[in-house]
Amino acid sequence: MAKGYWVSVYPTIADAEAFGVYNGLAGLAVAAAGGRTVARGGSRVVAHEAGIAERVVLVEFDSFEQAVAAYESAAYQKALAELPDGFERDFRIIEGLD
pLDDT digits (tens, 9 = 90+) for 27-80: 999 999 999 999 987 677 788 988 777 888 999 999 999 999 999 999 999 999
pLDDT, tens digit, for every residue of 9-41? 888 888 888 888 999 999 999 999 999 999 987
pLDDT given for residue 59 in this prediction: 98
Top-tier CATH class for 4-95:
alpha beta
Choice between 86 and 38, residue whose per-residue pLDDT is larger: 38
Considering Cα of 32, then 56, then 72, then 61, what sign does the dihedral take? negative
Domain layout of the chain by residue ranges: 4-95
Cβ(36)–Cβ(60) below 8 Å: yes
Whole-Å CA distances, 45 to 8, 21, 32: 13, 24, 28
pTM for the whole structure? 0.89
CA distance 23 to 44: 20
Phi and psi (nearest 5°) for 8?
Answer: -125, 135
